[in-house]
Structure 1
C-alpha cells in the first residue's frame, strides 16, 4: 500500500470564476489524453453505447408494493452519506468495496449519497492538481461526468467502483469501455461532458468538488462522512478515526438511527 500524506489544507480557496483564458490554456497533456480517448470511442462506438445492466446491486429488491408506497418513500428525508476519494487511490477501492457498497446494497433508499474528490484547485493550466498526476485528474473527470449525466447512484457509483477495481489502468480505453457497458452508460454523453466548453465544464466540476472537500476539512482519501460529520477514514490500508465502528453493520445501524430521527419515527 503506498504511503501517502494528506494534502495540506489551510483555508479553503475562494471559488474561482470560470474564465475563458484558463480554459483555453488547459493542460496539454490532459487535453491530449482526453482527445485521444474521444477519438478511440468515436471509432469504436460511433452511435454510442447501448444501455445494459445498470447496477452493482439489484434495484428490484428496493421496489415498493405499489405506487402509493413509492410516493411515501420519496417524501421521507434521507441521510447524507458522502465518500471523499481520489480515483487512483488504493484506499478508495477498500473504502468503496468494504463499506460504501455493502451499505448501499442494504439501505440505499434511506441514503442521499454523494462522491466528492480530493485535490487542489489552481490558478494555472486546467485549474486542478491531483496527487497521482494528470491521469488521476482525468479519472476524476470521467467519474464526475458519469455522476453529472447519470445522477442515480445505482449507475454512477457502480461505474466508479468498476473503474476503481482497476485504478492502476485509469484511463485505459478498454477498461472504461467495459465499465460503461456494464452499467448502462452511453459514453457519447460522457464525451460531451468532457469536451463541453473546451473542457472548461468538467474542469469546473472538478474544482468545485475539490473545494467542497476542502471546505469540509477533508484531505485524506478515503474519508466517509455521515450527516456532514466524519464517520470513518481509510488510510494506508487501515481504518482510522472510526469510533462507532468500521464495518457495514455499524454504519447501517447509525444510518437507520439518523433516518428515524429525521423522519420522526
Structure 2
C-alpha cells in the first residue's frame, strides 16, 4: 500500500511528465514529424511499477498523447546479471520469470498496440496481488500463448531482454 506521500510524489511525477508532453505538443505543432522517445524500465513485480502501468500509463493512449510518444517498455528495471550468467531480480525469482514472459510478449508482438494490452493485463494481476494467474491474459485477450511460451522455454526471453 502506498503512503500518502509516496502516492502524492508518484502522482506529481506523472502530472509533470504529462504537462511536459503537452508543452511539447504545443510548441512543436508546426512540425510533429518526430516523436518523443520514452523508454520505461520497470520490474514486473514492483508494486510502484504495476501501479504506474495500470493506473497512469493507459492515459496516454486514451488522451491521444501516444501519437507523439515513441514508447518502449523494458521489463528489466532493476535486474542484475550475475557472474555465473544468471539473473538476480529485486523481487525474487518470480519477478525474473515474469520479466522474461513480458520480454517475450514484446518480442512476439513488437507493435506497442499489440503487446501493451498483455503487459497491462499481467501488471493488473500484479497490482491486485494475483500475478500467478498471468497465463489467463492469453485467453482474455485472445492471444496465441505458444509464441510467448516457446520464447520463454527456448531461452530467447533472456536474449531479448535489455541485458544482452
* TM-score > 0.5, shorter chain as reference: yes
**Greater RCO structure (CA 8 Å; 6+ sep):** 1
1:124 to 69, 84, 98: 84
- The structure with more helix, counted as a fraction of residues: 2
Counting only pairs closer than 5 Å after superposition, residues 35-114 of structure 1 correspond to structure 2 as 76-107=33-64, 108-114=66-72
- The structural deviation recorded for 1:180 is 1.5
Deviations 1:6-43 (A, max 9, x none): xxxxxxxxxxxxxxxxxxxxxxxxxxxxxxxxxxxxxx
Q: How far apart, in 2, do the equivalents of 1:104 and 1:80 lie?
A: 15
Q: 1:135-150 maps to which residues of 2 (within 5 A)?
A: 135-150=94-109
Q: After TM superposition, which residue ranges in structure 1, 4 or more long, deviate above 6 angstroms?
A: none
User: Where does 1:116-265 land on structure 2 (aligned, <5 Å)?
Assistant: 116=74, 117-118=76-77, 119-124=79-84, 127-167=86-126, 168-170=129-131, 172=132, 175-196=133-154, 199=155, 201-206=156-161, 209-210=162-163
Larger Rg: 1
Deviation (angstroms), 1:100: 1.4
CA distance in 2, matches of 1:202, 1:191: 10
User: Helix, strand or coil for the counterpart of 1:165?
Assistant: helix
Distance in 2, Cα, partners of 1:78 & 1:137: 31
Q: CA deviation at 1:106?
A: 2.1
Secondary structure of residue in 2 paired with 1:166: helix
Structure 2: runs of 5+ lacking an equivalent: 4-31
Distance 1:138 1:76, change over 3 A: same
- How many equivalent residue pairs? 131
Query: How does the TM-score come out when normalised to structure 2?
Result: 0.70
What whole-Å deviation, never above 9, does each CA across 1:242-262 have from its counterpart, x for those lacking one?
xxxxxxxxxxxxxxxxxxxxx
Report the CA distance between 1:139 and its aligned residue: 0.4
Gapped runs of 5+ residues in structure 1? 4-74, 212-265
